[in-house]
Amino acid sequence: MNRFYTIPILMVLLATGVFFQSGCVQSRSASGAQGSSQHSGPEITVEGMVNSFGAEPFAAVILNSDERNSWVLELSAEDRDRLMMPARVRATGTVYAADWQGRLRAHMRVRELILLDQ
């Protein structure tokens, strides 16, 4: 009778070990991804529509490109004040990854912001 119980117990232990190990690997890769937000990526220029999401003081300005990509914009106070959203803009800046609303998102430190005619 011990043989009938041994196989299911071994299967449960094996499955538990696999789930535990995959959780460890996943948490390590997530922490590594957050660490990559410290490094800046390339400078790019993107055209698209900007909108504000969220409520002040936690609102973020999001740029949605025509190619359906989006970036959380890090703007100077001057650029933020002159924006009337929604607006069509051309933004040039450095891309990096950082957390926004609990998820890793593309961000852009804007060096130049040009308002385009609508």
Distance CA 69, CA 48 (A): 9
* Residue 59, pLDDT score: 83
Upper half-sphere CA count for residue 20 (Cβ side, 13 Å):
6
Verdict on whether the full-model pTM lies above 0.75: no
| Phi, psi values for residue 108, rounded to 5° | -135, 125
Distance CA 113, CA 79 (A): 7
| pLDDT (tens place) for every residue of the chain, 118 residues total | 555 555 555 455 445 454 444 444 443 334 444 444 455 788 999 999 999 888 777 789 999 998 999 999 999 988 888 888 899 999 999 999 998 888 899 999 999 999 997 5
* Residue 113, pLDDT score: 93
Distance CA 53, CA 63 (A): 11
